[in-house]
Amino acid sequence: MEIPITEYLEQLVAANREDSGETAQYIPEFAQADPDRLAVAFATPDGRVYCAGDVETEFSIQSISKPFTYALAIIDHGLAHVLEHVDVEPSGDAFNEISLDPETGRPMNPMINAGAIAVHGLLTGADREARDERLLSFYSRLAGRRLEVDEKVHASELSEAHRNTAIAYMLKSLGKLEGDPVDVVHGYTRQCSVNVTVRDLARMAAALSAGGRAPDGTQVIDPGVNRHVLSVMATCGMYDSSGEWLTRVGIPAKSGVSGGLLGVLPGQGGIAAFSPRLDAHGNSVRGIRIFERMNQHMGLHLM
Ligand code: DON
């Protein structure tokens, strides 16, 4: 019997529309986002996608880019080299905190800004443009379609990138940043400004669920690297509420400040939600609620 997945997702969207939380305000472009948008999608490892709500709405990927860039840096350099620059310990701090190991100067993990900036600096490529293009085509292969950067969001991000630039210079002074700090922040904010829909995110999550195999069947991420990335997402993907998330929902996940949320069911598929109102940690309020409901209905929890 065919399970009516789309009807189920439509019911989820209809039943979880109550409002709370605020859209991110710290970047001018976010303050203008429509707070009432809501969408959810599920993708199978072979690329079938079921979705409901505002499924055509594009939004910037933001921090959901972090696990994918991390995967590419490990592909480029091997895990040992990447670990010399960024640790894999949950920080318990906010996403923009300067969480560095006091002894080594390494950022605590690659899912917070400090770690993600160090990771971006590791990407190989002849210059800024070449690195940006490599990253964009890597994300695009996982999403199964060509993705593009939202230039307005990127300009908006850059206009407010003072803290991220400070973090990059701090990392440089500690010997944990390869490349020029300004160049790296330019590229890091560009990776955050890639536009996606929930459908794209669900497919990217499904690729992680399939051991790094993209929807078209090509192996984009080595299975060992993929497992490492999923492990870090499980412990660090939801910032300073990662522990609460892992106990309540129990799957590897990553959130972004524009309201996206992606979760991975290893071997079974990827789930994505989008709703721009955020809680105090910077995670989507209705996105979290939708994952919690799905967990109640279907037992997503891996433990
Ligand atoms: O680094 C920043 O400020 C953003 N471009 C990305 C932050 C983000 O998505 C944090 N999420 N909750």
Fold of domain 65-192: Beta-lactamase (3.40.710)
- pTM of this prediction? 0.96
Averaged confidence pLDDT in the chain = 94
Candidates 184, 192, 274: which one to mutate for ligand 1, based on the most atoms within 8 Å of Cβ? 192
In CATH, which of 3.30.380.10, 3.40.710.10, 3.90.960.10, 3.30.70.360 is domain 5-62+195-298? 3.40.710.10
Residue 3 is predicted with a pLDDT of 66
Alpha helix (H) residue ranges in the chain = 5-15, 28-31, 66-77, 79-85, 113-122, 128-143, 151-159, 162-173, 181-192, 198-209, 223-236, 242-248, 285-298
| Binding-site annotation, residues for substrate | 63, 113, 157, 164, 188, 239, 257
The secondary element (H helix, E strand) that includes residue 261 is strand 260-265
Give the residue, by CA position, lying nearest to ligand 1 atom 12.
257
Does the beta carbon of 287 lie inside 6 Å of ligand 1?
Answer: no
Cα of 217 vs centre of ligand 1, distance in Å, is: 31
Candidates 23, 62, 112, 159: which one to mutate for ligand 1, based on the most atoms within 8 Å of Cβ? 62
| pLDDT tens digits, one per residue of 175-184 | 999 999 999 9
Does the beta carbon of 113 lie inside 6 Å of ligand 1?
Answer: yes
Q: Is the pLDDT of residue 1 over 90?
A: no
Burial code of 164-175, b = ≥16 C-beta within 10 A, e = fewer? Answer: bbebbebbbeee
- Domain residue limits, the chain: 5-62+195-298, 65-192
Same fold, 5-62+195-298 and 65-192: yes
CB atoms within 10 A of CB 20: 10
| pLDDT tens digits, one per residue of 34-65 | 889 999 999 999 989 999 999 999 999 999 99
